[in-house]
Structure 1
Amino acid sequence: MKGTTHLAIGCAIGAVACAYYPFSPSNAALYLSVAGLSALSADLDGPSILSRKISKLSKWLRNAMLGAGLLLIVGLAYQLVVPGRFDPAYAACAVSAFLLGLVARQGAIRNALVSLVGGALLYYGSIKGYTWLVGLGAFVVWVPWLKHRGMTHTLWALIGWGAIGWGLERQSGIDGVTAVAVAGYASHLLADTMTPSGVKWLYPLYKKSIKLH
């Protein structure tokens, strides 16, 4: 299924969360960022998303997202060097924007950049004791090099992603982050299950693809 479809579903999930949970601009930004990243993160394992020929507008939007992500990452770096300024909600938004810009790219350089971001998250999470950030960093380091629709498209990956969301919810104190993360990731797997290739939900215990036509 096309990446634009996955992203649209994720944005819809984020919008529902904005309407259901107590609203504030920062909460809304977090819900939309988490939902969008969760809906696309399973495709960090390969260059399939948006890998076909794209229009100039689509290419501009990808580059704009990557540029915005870089600016947010710079702001995050500033927070990291100023004691007491770390904001987990802002960090999640910044990383989400940057990874969304990278997720449509392909090749070894793209994979290395994604893994580099993951390594930075893992390192900072470990020195600060943020378990959810360590988990996210490990995920981002590992998955770019995996075969597409392999381990990232399984029930185990969904459970792991939910644990990351739960950790972020506990630290940020914003209700619903876990539900949004799980719903976003699950939406990707369910959407891919309805394609001809299907999804190996229980891989490697059950290696056949499950399909819903």
Structure 2
Amino acid sequence: MKGTTHLAIGVGIGLAAAAYYPFTPNNAALYITVAAFSSLSPDLDGNSMLSSKLGKVSKLVRELLLWGGVALAIGVAYVYYDQRILHQQLALTAGAAFLLGFIAKEGSIRNILVSLIGGAVLYWGMMNNITWMIGFGLFVAIAPWMHHRGLTHTLWALIAWGAIGAALESELQLEGISNVAIAGYLSHLITDTMTPAGVKWLYPLSKKSIKIMH
């Protein structure tokens, strides 16, 4: 399934959550970011996440995510420096956008750099006892070295991602984040199940690919 399809579905899930749960601009941005990131996260595996799947718009998408994340991070940093107020939700949105843009590269160098970012997130989470950050950092650090449509495309990965989402919801005290994370990740697995290659939902217990369409 094309990356554009996964991304569009993820954004749609985020928009639906923003409309369903109590609305604020910050909450809406976070719902959309979490859903979009979750819908693409299974493809962290392999040497390329989005490069070959987004086709002609890949470069534009990468640049928008990268520089959008940087711009938002600068704004968050300025507010913190000027007012000593850290907008945690906006900081998370900025970090996710930047990371998503950065990992939409290809090749072994990309894998090494993404793993280093994941390791840094894992370390920070351990030093500050932030459960969701520990799980997220571990996922990001390991996933690039897995075979494509391997463990990241399984029921077990979905459960793990849901646990990360639940920990994030507890940290932010924002209702619905866990559901949005699960829905985004699940949407990726379901749409990939609709492709000829299918998805090995129970790998490594079973190597049989489940396909909805043949």
TM, length-normalised to structure 2: 0.90
Is residue 196 from structure 1 mapped to residue 212 from structure 2 by the alignment?
A: no
Q: Matches of 2:155 and 2:71 in 1, distance apart?
A: 34
Report the identity percentage: 56
Q: What amino acid sits opposite 2:143 in the alignment?
A: V
State whether residues 14 and 32 of structure 2, in contact with CA within 8 Å, keep that contact through their aligned partners in structure 1.
yes
d(CA) in 2 for partners of 1:95, 1:76: 11
Q: Distance in 1 between matches of 2:53 and 2:21?
A: 37
Distance 1:127 1:86 in 2: 19
2: CA distance between counterparts of 1:44 and 1:81? 34
Q: Identify the residue that residue 127 of structure 2 maps to in structure 1.
A: 127
Residue of structure 2 equivalent to 1:49: 50
- Rounded Cα–Cα distance in structure 2 between residues aligned with 1:210 and 1:131: 32
Summarize the Cα distance change of 1:42–1:53 in structure 2 as closer, same or farther, 3 Å threshold: closer
Number of matched residues? 211
Q: Distance in 1 between matches of 2:68 and 2:85?
A: 20
- Please tell me the root mean square deviation across aligned C-alpha atoms, in Å: 2.3
How far residue 85 of structure 1 moved from its aligned partner, in angstroms, is: 4.9
Shift of 1:119: 1.3
For the 8 Å contact 1:42–1:153, the answer to whether it is kept is yes
The answer for unaligned runs of 5 or more in structure 2 is none
| Residue of structure 2 equivalent to 1:145 | 145
After TM superposition, give the deviation of residue 115 of structure 1 in Å.
1.1
Alpha-carbon shift at residue 212 of structure 1 (Å): 0.3
Deviations 1:57-94 (A, max 9, x none): 54233222122224445667789999x85544233212
4+ long deviations beyond 6 Å: 75-82
**Residues 12-21 or 43-52, more deviating:** 43-52
**C-alpha distance in structure 2 between counterparts of 1:59 and 1:120, whole Å:** 26
The verdict on how the C-alpha distance between 1:79 and 1:148 changes in structure 2, with shifts beyond 3 A counting, is farther
Match of 2:14 in 1: 14
Any conservation in 2 of the 1:35–1:180 contact (CA below 8 Å)?
A: yes
Kept in 2: contact 1:51–1:105 (CA 8 A) = no
Stretch deviating more after TM superposition (64-73 or 93-102):
64-73
TM-score (norm 1): 0.90
- Separation of aligned partners in 1, 2:171 and 2:50: 31
Alignment correspondent of 1:164: 164
Q: Gaps spanning 5+ residues in structure 1: where?
A: none
The aligned amino acid for 1:100 is: L
